[in-house]
A and B are shown apart, each in its own frame.
Chain A
């Protein structure tokens, strides 16, 4: 790499611009899966935790991180898988939750169900299934506007 090592703040900013491959409105940092960024001598070490153990997006996420950092001139890069502590939806950032809602996915709530329909904001909602289009989502339906919607479930 030419010149000085970029600061960790700069690297975090770069990672903040990498979208989640499945829900591109939120970034990897919004999702809370980047657990640590460190320089170990001249190697940049990025620790990533999987959302769900079988999530097929995990390998794409690693590829996207690598592509983004290489594009910024990082040559020595190591991606570490960190399993513990296990990922929790509590690590979703507030801005990430707002972006999810604007995209039509109800963000996770401590109560275990969506606060309101992400389309019409009605609080009359019902669960269709605990499982949805991806492991992280459940299927719900609004009883006011009758639209089905995804709820980002808590784990």
Chain B
């Protein structure tokens, strides 16, 4: 295993990078102009946070790789994002359900990181919390509005929850990297955040009149890099196209 701190920083940065890219795919094609702008703004925040996380990862690694190198010069097996964020956008409802599930975990995790013993990690978390707070506000409102909306929107949101719920569990799995982070006081144990997440999820889904699947099966392999879903590779062919076709091109 490489340096656990580097691994941890890649996980943070890859989550925001992959979700940021996914959300940016809506730019220009969202259902209404306001939502298009909101999605693009959210994507921009996530990409900004990526620059901070992957920039720090590159510094920690000390091999001269910066955020751009890490984002554009790695292949699927080097990515450390959870599987949830690489799932395709689907319809608008599925995109917003994915956003809500991720935001709920993200905000709780970032809040805990604000008291990290690593000052740079704490500073990035402090900055990100402000942005992720309004991401969660918006994704919650939208999930409730569409879930408790028309018969059609309700059904689509239920389908989205059923489709994405098996990807929730991975966000709370702990492994050796997490254990090392806990030991050094850098990051909390993700498993310790599950109970509060479940309570919050139950509350919002009740308001949205949606049923949480009872099967707690969880797909995993993204944050460890062992097994990504097919979708990430396809996404990277788009995201990394320029650097693959013209390596080291700059402007």
Q: Which residues of A contact B (CB under 8 A)?
A: 50, 52-56, 83-86, 128-133, 135, 139, 155
| Chain A interface SS verdict (over half) | loop
**Contact A86 B34, beta carbon cutoff 8 Å:** no
The A-contacting residues of B in range 110-158, CB under 8 angstroms, are 119-120, 122-124, 126-131, 134, 137-138
Is B37 touching A129 in the complex (CB atoms < 8 A)?
yes
Tell me the residues in window 37-53 of chain B with beta carbons closer than 8 Å to chain A beta carbons: 37-38, 41-42, 44-49, 51-52
Given A83-B124, A86-B130, are A135 and B45 also a contact pair (CB < 8 Å)? yes
CB atoms of A54 and B45 under 8 A apart: yes
Contacts of B52 in A (CB 8 A): 53, 83
Q: In the assembled complex, which residues on chain B have CB atoms less than 8 Å from the CB atom of A128?
A: 34
Residues facing A in B19-46 (CB within 8 A) are: 34, 37-38, 41-42, 44-46
B127 contacts A86, C-beta separation under 8 Å? yes
Question: Within 8 Å CB of B124, what residues of A?
Answer: 83
Q: What is the CA–CA distance of A54 and B52 in the complex, to the nearest angstrom? A: 10
- How would you classify the secondary structure of chain B's contact residues: helix, strand, loop or mixed? helix
Q: How large is the interface on B (under 10, 10 to 19, 20 to 34, 35 or more residues)?
A: 20 to 34
Q: How far is the CA of A91 from the CA of B128 in the complex (A)?
A: 18
Q: How far is the CA of A155 from the CA of B44 in the complex (A)?
A: 16
B138 touches A130 (CB 8 A): yes
Residue pair B122, A84 in contact (C-beta under 8 Å): yes
Check if B37 sits within 8 Å of A131, measured CB to CB. Answer: yes
| Closest residue of A by beta carbon distance from B55 | A81
Of the A-B pairs whose beta carbons lie under 8 Å apart in the complex, a sample of 27, sorted by A's number, is: A52-B45, A52-B48, A52-B131, A53-B45, A53-B48, A53-B127, A54-B44, A54-B47, A56-B44, A83-B120, A83-B127, A84-B119, A86-B126, A86-B129, A86-B130, A128-B34, A129-B34, A129-B37, A129-B38, A130-B134, A130-B138, A131-B38, A131-B41, A133-B37, A135-B41, A135-B44, A155-B134
Enumerate chain B interface residues (CB-CB to A < 8 A).
34, 37-38, 41-42, 44-49, 51-52, 119-120, 122-124, 126-131, 134, 137-138
Chain A residues whose CB sits within 8 angstroms of the CB of B127 once the complex forms: 50, 53, 83-84, 86
Q: How far is the CA of A132 from the CA of B52 in the complex (A)?
A: 24
- Give the complex CA separation of A15 and B47 in angstroms: 28
Contacts of A131 in B (CB 8 A): 34, 37-38, 41-42, 138
Find chain A residues with CB under 8 A from B41 CB.
Answer: 131, 135
A17 vs chain B, min Cβ distance (A): 27
Give the CA-CA distance A135 to B123 in the complex, in Å: 20
B residues in contact with A135, CB < 8 Å: 41, 44-45
